[in-house]
Amino acid sequence: MRNAAVILFSASFLSSPVVAQTMVEAFYKDKTIDLVIGGGAGGSFDLYGRLFQRHLGAHIPGHPQIVARVMPGASGFAAVQWISTLAPRDGSAIAVLPPQLAIQQTLGLNPLRYDASKFLWIGRAAPAVEATYTWHTSPTRTIEDAKSRETVMGSPTGSSGAAYLRLMNNVLGTRFKVVTGYSGTTDANLAMERGEIEGTSKPWNGIKVDNADWVRDHKIQLLVQYGLARSPELPDVPTLSDLAPTPTDRDAFRLMAMGPEMGRPFAAPEGVPADRAATLRRAFMETVQDPAFLADAKNMNIDLDPATGEYVQGLVRETLDFAAESKARAKAAMGE
């Protein structure tokens, strides 16, 4: 009985919150956390990543140093591969990942092998409502216009913008001619200003920060936005789901909107010890409420609408569990 009592006392002692906190602090003290950013330098993923780099460590016991580096290959999926196969699984590696990774997994569109449901989702900084727009000189001012005339649109290679345009062509009857090969949205925007293409797509937050003069001077015409609901800032711009002609199409469009809802998600590899996993999730939510963090974000003009790691995990699960009919419809509609 005495040995049993000792075992029970030891188990209780080791699992107590105080001891768990001490063990986590001992692990992270003098430790470096690698924060990999699945996007190019200076882009929105980089901005969010650098913002958290400056503040997250203050909310992790032991106050580890956080070192950020960009990993832009394969439209951010190089970071997905790194988290899935190469990153240490001890809580010393996190990443900002592309929001469409669960969509590409459930539709079988990506040759990389990973399982988004097994990642440790730490939290989401903000959704990423995207918008498709045309330059003010284009006769295409609405989706209805795009059904009656061919509209030449540019899109970076591998971006979600091209998929959305093809989806609308095949479901709504629009006549977008999609030109790919641009290195990024900046490249596509420059081509639009030169008159080589009529429009492109970009996250709304990026438009209003990078191209505020376009919005102010009505230089662009917003055709459609991509998200689970209309942005409060774009109440008159329809979502893709608003345009769906049938319930099946609406479900397929909702599936495609899961990426924008994921937005700017942070994750760690599977297998992180439970106490460190809970610490990372808690630290993320403490960070997004930190006055210094909020002031920094305001100074950078960065949108925030944070969500917990559990919420992001639910989005991933819903994306992977969509009905087969809806997934087949979405995949077929995105065909070339």
At 15, the pLDDT band (50, 70, 90 cuts) reads low
pLDDT at position 264 is 94
pLDDT at position 20 is 61
Residue type, 232: P
Q: Each residue of 232-248: pLDDT tens digit? A: 999 999 999 999 999 88
Shortest CA distance to 293 belongs to which of 304, 308, 281? 304
% of the chain exceeding 90 in pLDDT: 65
At 9, the pLDDT band (50, 70, 90 cuts) reads very low
Q: Each residue of 152-169: pLDDT tens digit? A: 999 987 677 888 899 899
**270 and 119 Cβ atoms separated by less than 8 Å:** yes
Q: Is 123 helix (H, G, I), strand (E, B) or coil?
A: strand
Q: Which residue has the higher pLDDT, 330 or 309?
A: 309
In this model, does residue 317 exceed pLDDT 90? yes
Residue type, 25: E
C-alpha distances in angstroms, 212 versus 42, 205, 304?
A: 17, 10, 18
Average confidence score pLDDT of the chain:
90
Mean pLDDT calculated for residue range 113-135: 95
Q: Each residue of 167-189: pLDDT tens digit? A: 899 899 999 999 998 888 889 99
Q: Which residue has the higher pLDDT, 135 or 325?
A: 135
C-alpha distances in angstroms, 275 versus 14, 62, 93, 122, 266?
A: 11, 14, 15, 13, 18
Helix intervals (H) in the chain: 2-15, 17-28, 44-55, 77-81, 101-107, 143-148, 160-172, 185-194, 204-210, 212-216, 247-262, 274-287, 291-300, 309-320, 324-333
Q: Each residue of 23-35: pLDDT tens digit? A: 999 999 999 999 9
Whole-number Å distance between alpha carbons of 243 and 65: 47
Length of the chain (residues) = 336
In this model, does residue 285 exceed pLDDT 80? yes
pLDDT at position 6 is 47
Q: Each residue of 195-220: pLDDT tens digit? A: 999 999 998 988 988 899 999 999 99
Domains of the chain as residue ranges with CATH: 2-127+263-322 (3.40.190.150), 130-259 (3.40.190.10)
**165 and 153 Cβ atoms separated by less than 8 Å:** yes
